[in-house]
Amino acid sequence: MYFHKQELQFKSTPDKPDAVYARKLQEVLGGQYGEISVALQYQFQAWNMHIPGKYRDMVFGIGAEEMGHVEMLATMIAQLLEKAPLGITGDAVQDDPTVAAVLGGTDLQQAIVAGAGARPVDSMGNPWQGSYITASGNLLADFTANENAEMQGRVQAARLYHMTDDHGVRDLLKFLIARDTMHQNMWATAAAELRESGLETMPVPSNFPQHKENQEVNYQYLNFSDGAEAKNGPWASGPSFDGKGEYSYHDGPTTSSPMPPPTHPDSRFYGTTELPNTIEKIAGTVQDKLNKE
């Protein structure tokens, strides 16, 4: 059950309208690592979770907070657009390359489609996609993905911080960046506790028996690049990170196999093969008569 409280988690008001920057903020709202993504990712993870208690409660709580961050950014975008010029393109404007460049930096659909409001899109206008979400049901896999999401989001917010001198916008970004700091630490802490408790360990999934994998290659570093320094890394020799194997370094693959012959699908797919065309036609006719759909 959801309730909406008409308050924001943090107060911030832009100094002035800025339609160009409003478009930039769309990235951390509706981009791959934007607030819409993390809000729904965390909630789907909680809905898909198979264990009750502190982990589920924590994920639900952070998912709800992130939905509030969606609202904060949507509100800020609307404020930046509120008194921004409509961008009426008369001949004089079109002839001025400087003005044309400024107008070209705005998201026209924020005006035309959303009526000076935010949209569920990234900074290039690409619609937000549900495929951005990771919710596997494996807590270590999901919490590690969440660490990455918060890291990518914080990188983008930090870059946006330096793209404006608006004090109100910077105040909002400083708050969101600080929450990203907390969430990075939180997911890393939760993932570490999962490993320490033995509830889930590496490699993920840890309840898949390793004797069923090809153990000859499971800790080999195979160098497929002509760079020479990779062999000096800790991933190329010594005990593996999960403590269950020993790294080894190899120049190139340690296994190989001849390429299998080309496949020959049903003739009614009409792919070109080395068989004569007439034979392909006959094969398709026979398959039709045999009702082999």
CA-to-CA separations, 123 to 69, 130, 160, 205, 216, in angstroms, rounded: 17, 17, 12, 36, 46
Tell me which amino acid residue 269 is: F
Spatial CB neighbours of 204, under 8 Å, sequence gap ≥ 6: 138, 140, 141, 144
Instruction: Please report the pLDDT score of residue 273 as a whole number.
Output: 81
Q: Is the pTM value of this prediction over 0.85?
A: yes
Instruction: Please report the pLDDT score of residue 99 as a whole number.
Output: 56
Instruction: Please report the pLDDT score of residue 169 as a whole number.
Output: 98
Six token digits for residue 99: 């003005």
CA-to-CA separations, 246 to 202, 216, 278, in angstroms, rounded: 14, 11, 57
Produce one character per residue of 115-133: b if its CB has 16 or more CB atoms within 10 Å, e if not. Answer: ebebbebbbeeeebeeebb
Among 291, 4, 10, which Cα is nearest to 176's?
Answer: 10
Instruction: Please report the pLDDT score of residue 101 as a whole number.
Output: 54
Tens-of-pLDDT digits for all 293 residues of the chain? 899 999 999 999 999 999 999 999 999 999 999 999 999 999 999 999 999 999 999 999 999 999 999 999 999 999 999 988 766 555 555 566 555 555 567 888 998 899 999 999 999 999 999 999 999 999 999 999 999 999 999 999 999 999 999 999 999 999 999 999 999 999 999 999 999 999 999 999 999 999 999 999 999 999 999 998 999 999 999 999 999 999 999 999 999 999 999 888 888 888 788 878 888 888 888 888 887 55
- Rounded Cα–Cα distance for residues 5 and 163 (Å): 31
Q: Which residues pair with 222 in a beta bridge?
A: 250
Instruction: Please report the pLDDT score of residue 274 as a whole number.
Output: 82
